[in-house]
């Protein structure tokens, strides 16, 4: 089973306005409410690919109930910890460009934090846990370390998709996959990256620090998979980019889900790249048919 963990989920409230006028009444052209959060995005794509998974994390209030209802309707099993405060709402205001206003999220108490860690004590060596996104301040900077300790104790594998110190602290535990984009990789090592050779150099550095696989997304330039044996490049399919939200999460879902079910890292790279592109070409997260239609366009070659 694949489990996803989203520590600070949200409702993403997408509002489109024709011509935004400040200090005046504006009427929406359209609006859309979606469950948000990186791990939740991974769960939704896994479910659309027909891969069983369970979404974990913290939800609260009427906004939390909305997220659970949508996920259950999409055949995602949920086992959230319910908290006292309301799950946050993030506003994405589209007016030619996009303006984002993100909520803070609820305070997580120590008992609630303990409850989530306890849920991981049922894991087995057949399970994979995807840890995605930042850690809310109320949980403290070492909360991922605490969850990883339980995961490793149970013999399960984990994927971590975060940045900065949280990622660096996780590397010695041997994550199955890390997925920085080219900007995040440069920030992680405090360097300027100039071309593919630099990406491979620092991708291999992450392997030396403990990662088992490094997946580097490069926007229109495709993706690199850096393994201990070889480096592979996948091209990006053709299409019109409509959406920047969730493409990286979709790539992780396609890669991890395919790797877990087939054991083939190259097919996983193709599926991950097609999944990320399909979401970028859609208004919401990609549907299975869109992902499958792009798969033939994705070619993987050794570098």
Catalogue the active-site residues. Answer: 249
Cα gap 36→13, rounded to integer Å: 9
- Of the candidates 94, 104, 89, the one whose C-alpha atom is nearest the C-alpha of residue 12 is 89
- Of the candidates 239, 221, 236, the one whose C-alpha atom is nearest the C-alpha of residue 182 is 221
- Of the candidates 210, 214, 189, the one whose C-alpha atom is nearest the C-alpha of residue 200 is 214
Contact 255, 177 (CB under 8 A): yes
Residue 284's contacts (CB-CB under 8 Å, 6 or more residues apart) are: 32, 34, 243, 246
Contact 57, 147 (CB under 8 A): no
- Give the burial class of 190: count Cβ atoms within 10 A of its Cβ; 0-12 exposed, 13-18 middle, 19 or more buried: exposed
Q: Are strands 214-217 and 223-226 parallel, antiparallel or unpaired?
A: antiparallel
* 90 to 33, 35, 55: CA distances (angstroms): 10, 10, 20
Name beta bridge partners: 222: none
- Of the candidates 223, 82, 56, 79, the one whose C-alpha atom is nearest the C-alpha of residue 147 is 56
230 DSSP assignment: -
User: Helix, strand or coil for residue 271?
Assistant: helix
- Give the burial class of 149: count Cβ atoms within 10 A of its Cβ; 0-12 exposed, 13-18 middle, 19 or more buried: middle
């Amino acid at each position: 089973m694949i489990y996803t963990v989203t520590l600070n989920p949200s409702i993403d409230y997408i509002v489109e306005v024709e011509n935004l006028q400040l200090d005046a009444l504006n009427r929406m052209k359209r609006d859309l409410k979606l469950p948000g959060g990186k791990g939740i995005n991974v769960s939704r794509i896994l479910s659309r690919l027909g891969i069983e998974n369970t979404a974990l994390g913290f939800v609260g209030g009427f906004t939390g109930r909305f997220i659970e209802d949508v996920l259950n309707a999409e055949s995602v099993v949920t086992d959230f910890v319910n908290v006292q405060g309301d799950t946050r709402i993030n506003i994405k205001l589209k007016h030619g460009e996009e303006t984002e206003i993100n909520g803070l999220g609820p305070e997580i108490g120590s008992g609630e934090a303990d409850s989530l860690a306890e849920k991981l004590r049922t894991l087995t060596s057949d399970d994979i846990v995807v840890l995605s996104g930042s850690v809310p301040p109320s949980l403290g900077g070492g909360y991922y370390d605490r969850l990883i300790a339980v995961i490793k104790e149970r013999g399960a594998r984990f994927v971590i998709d975060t940045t900065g110190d949280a990622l660096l602290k996780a590397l010695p535990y041997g994550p199955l996959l890390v997925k920085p984009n080219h900007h995040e990789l440069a920030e992680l090592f405090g360097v300027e990256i100039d071309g593919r050779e630099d990406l491979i150099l620092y991708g291999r550095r992450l392997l030396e620090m403990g990662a088992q696989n490094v997946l580097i997304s490069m926007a229109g330039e495709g993706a690199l998979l850096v393994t201990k044996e070889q480096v592979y490049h996948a091209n990006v399919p053709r299409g019109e980019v409509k959406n920047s939200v969730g493409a990286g999460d979709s790539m992780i879902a396609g890669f991890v889900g395919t790797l877990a079910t087939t054991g083939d890292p190259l097919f996983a790279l193709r599926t991950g790249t097609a999944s990320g592109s399909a979401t970028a070409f859609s208004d919401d997260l990609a549907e299975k048919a869109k992902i499958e239609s792009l798969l033939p366009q994705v070619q993987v070659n050794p570098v």
